[in-house]
Amino acid sequence: MDPAPNPPGVAVSVRDLRLALPLGGDRPNAVDGVSFDLMAGEILCIVGESGSGKSMCAHALMGLLPKAVTVASGSIRLGDTDLLAQDAAGWRDTRGRRIAMVFQEPMTALNPLMRIGDQMAEMFEAHGLLTPPERRARAVALAREVGLPDPEGIVRSYPHQLSGGQRQRAMIAMALALEPAILVADEPTTALDVTTQAQILKLIRDLQRRRNMAVLFITHDFGVVTDIADRVLVLRQGRVVEEGPAAALLGAPREAYTQALLAAVPAMNPPARTPTEGPKTIEVAGLSKTYVTGGGWWRKPRTVAAARDVSFALRRGETLGLVGESGSGKSSVARLVMRLIEPDLGSVRLGDTELTRLNGEALRRARSRIQMVFQDPFASLNPRRTVGQIITDGPVAHGVSLSDARGRAVRLLGLVGLDMRAFERFPHEFSGGQRQRIGIARALALEPEVLVADEAVSALDVSVQAQVLALLEDLKVRFGLSMLFITHDLRVAAQICDRIAVMRRGEIVELKTAADLFANPEHPYTRDLLAAVPGRAREAA
């Protein structure tokens, strides 16, 4: 071990870090010989796709690696200590006081049974600092510093009473409590809506400047990198691909891999599209749905409008995007269109049939005409059925003979770019992108007229995302499908949609062609959404 302390300006220096995975994995090391310096007062972004080892690097800094992952070699030097050489007590002293961490999921990263203020106070308690009343006072001050509304009230609330953005602010406040020199942020904005994401990114930026902290920021999103990074490190399969100042690396990447990643990021300017003039496949008129929760003998129920007077038409061969933030009602509208939930008011016409009036057998038959591709490629396929069974089940249920269904399934597997041998295998043997292809083949097996894609590419890495989007586009043209494309990602919507409907609180606030929407957003909310999309600076340049 090199006993020399870090040179001035270097907050943390990672040297030749090698993290071993348990035997039998797809590779021996999660992180394989990674070295980098985190400078005081800078934000270093580690970027990579899933499985690149970026999150492992972050956790290694905190000594919070999963039990199965072991440090094979290397050093992490903070001041004059090698973090990897310290004992459990040493780690406890480091965590929170010298290095603090903010996690990805603000929904689950806070203890649901403890008040926010108590969880902040724990930070001081863990290191034996201050008296309980002082800790409470500091918690309020911290809540104020991260811009939480009503700091005195919010420290007494429980996590479930806060929004996602507020919880992440609380997490950041907690991390800053002991004024650590280093903040590790592991995808801190991935689970947030774009407008909230923009606010949190600004908050991290401001706090970092004010306190002159070093921030290690882990993300998969190049838009976020553009907005926040001083320096960038690109990881692939546990190895450093490229490292450099943000402007230089994003402007002129040297390595082919970085170039490919950047090229896969969907652009904000929609490609020119010819308007479709086909017949209307789906016509939705005055659709409303209100959820009522709670309410009892003496209590007023809480109502949430999932859809308010939603009307639109979807033409043959057209892709209509439904975009909005979480809770805007876009998924509810998709479910209403498929009649997976019953509307309170309004009608859905599918071609010449009134879908909202059908029942029993007629509804069951009509269902095959609209099919859905789901968000989560891991949860949406039955793990105990082979891919072949998953694809043929639908047609067989609708009366297609097994041999015909099989033939169709094999053809579809080819069309979505999978090997015929996939037929006999189980979903867990495939990657996320491949599973999404299986999901698409499953939907197409019923020869639908309409494909409803609910955040169908949101869980995928950018490069895979680009491939699946291209596949959807190709299949749409080939089968003359109409597509209802639900997404929170405006970049994705720009690339695949002919027209886009922006939703807020159950209402469509603006509906026009993609090109027009991005060029001339009229509604203030649409403008806010567009302004919040990360990484716009790179495109403007």
Q: Min. distance of Cβ 115 from another protein in angstroms?
A: 8
CB nearer to another protein: give 96 or 433. Answer: 96
CA gap 447, 255 in Å, rounded: 43
**Which residues, 99 to 128, sit near another protein by CB under 8 A?**
100-101, 103, 105, 108-114, 122-123, 125-127
Tell me the window of 93-101, 343-351, 384-392, 519-527 that interacts with another protein (CB under 8 A).
Answer: 93-101
User: Is residue 297 involved in binding another protein (CB under 8 A)?
Assistant: yes
Among all chains, which residue has been given the structure tokens 């295998």?
425
Q: Sign of the C-alpha dihedral, residues 127, 131, 136, 141?
A: negative
Task: Find the shortest distance in angstroms from Cβ 161 to another protein.
Answer: 8
| Cβ proximity of 183 and 97 under 8 Å | no
In sign, the C-alpha dihedral spanning 372, 376, 382, 385 is positive
Longest dimension (CA), the chain: 79
* CA distance linking residue 97 with residue 189, whole number of Å: 23
Minimum CB separation of residue 360 from another protein in Å reads 33
| Interaction between residue 300 and another protein (CB under 8 A) | no
SS3 40: coil
What whole-number distance in Å separates Cα of residue 53 and Cα of residue 76?
A: 16
Q: Smallest distance, Å, CB 69 to another protein? A: 14
Cα–Cα distance measured from residue 103 to residue 235, given in angstroms and rounded to the nearest whole number: 19
Q: Considering only residues 165-224, where is the footprint of another protein by CB under 8 A?
A: 171, 174
Q: Which is nearer to another protein, 98 or 315 (CB)?
A: 98
Scanning residues 122 to 161, which ones bind another protein (CB under 8 A)? 122-123, 125-127, 158, 160
| Contacting residues for 247 by C-beta, under 8 A, at least 6 apart | none
What is the closest distance, in whole angstroms, from the C-beta atom of residue 86 to another protein in the complex? 12
Angle between helices 116-126 and 164-176 (to 10 degrees): 20
Q: Which is nearer to another protein, 114 or 410 (CB)?
A: 114
Which of 18, 75, 93, 313 touches another protein by CB under 8 A? 93
Residue type for 388, please?
G
Structure letter (DSSP) for residue 303:
E
Question: Comparing C-alpha atoms, which of 465, 509, 470, 467 is closest to residue 487?
Answer: 465
Q: How far apart are CA 474 and CA 412, in angstroms?
A: 13
Shortest distance in whole angstroms from residue 95 CB to another protein: 4
Q: Which tokens is 275 given?
A: 């308007």
Binding mask 52-71 for another protein (x = CB under 8 A): ----------x-x-------
Which of these segments, 22-30, 288-296, 304-312, 529-537, binds another protein (CB under 8 A)? 288-296
Nearer to another protein, 173 or 514 (CB): 173
Of 12 and 62, the one with the shorter C-beta distance to another protein is 62
Query: What is the C-alpha separation between 65 and 55, in angstroms, rounded?
Result: 9
Q: What is the spatial distance between Cα 302 and Cα 293, in angstroms, rounded to a whole number?
A: 5
Shortest distance in whole angstroms from residue 71 CB to another protein: 17
Is the alpha carbon torsion for 411, 416, 420, 422 positive or negative? negative
Q: Which stretch binds another protein (CB under 8 A): 44-52, 94-102, 344-352, 355-363?
A: 94-102
**Given the complex with another protein, which of 92 and 144 has the nearer CB atom?**
92
Closer to another protein by CB, 245 or 301: give it: 301
CB 68 to another protein: min, Å: 13
How near is the Cβ of 94 to another protein at its closest, in Å?
7
294 makes contact with another protein (CB under 8 A): yes
Q: Is 429 exposed, middle or buried (0-12, 13-18, 19+ CB in 10 A)?
A: exposed
Residue number, 100 or 333, with CB nearest to another protein: 100
Amino acid identity, position 510: E
How is residue 253 annotated by DSSP? Answer: -
Query: At its nearest, how many Å lie between another protein and the CB of residue 34?
Result: 21
Q: Which is nearer to another protein, 129 or 313 (CB)?
A: 129
* Cβ atoms of residues 145 and 120 within 8 Å: no
Amino acid at 99: I
CB of 306 to another protein, least distance (A): 20
Question: Which residue(s) pair with 372 in the sheet?
Answer: 452
Nearer to another protein, 33 or 153 (CB): 153
Coil/strand/helix, residue 285: strand
Beta carbon of residue 326, minimum distance to another protein (angstroms, whole number): 18
Q: Tell me the site size for another protein, rule CB under 8 A.
A: 35
| 450 touches another protein (CB under 8 A) | no
Give the residue, chosen from 31, 48, 76, 97, that forms a contact with another protein under the rule CB under 8 A: 97
C-beta of 81 vs 368, nearer to another protein: 81
Buried b (16+ CB within 10 A) or exposed e, 254-275: eeebbeebbebbbebebeeeee
Residue 174 or 218: which CB sits closer to another protein?
Answer: 174
Interactions with another protein, residue window 403-432 (CB under 8 A): none
Closest distance between another protein and the C-beta of residue 219, in Å? Answer: 18
Pairing relationship of beta strands 182-186 and 99-102 according to DSSP bridges: parallel
374 phi/psi in degrees, rounded to 5: -95, 170
- The binding site for another protein (CB under 8 A) comprises 62, 64, 91-97, 100-101, 103, 105, 108-114, 122-123, 125-127, 158, 160, 171, 174, 294-299
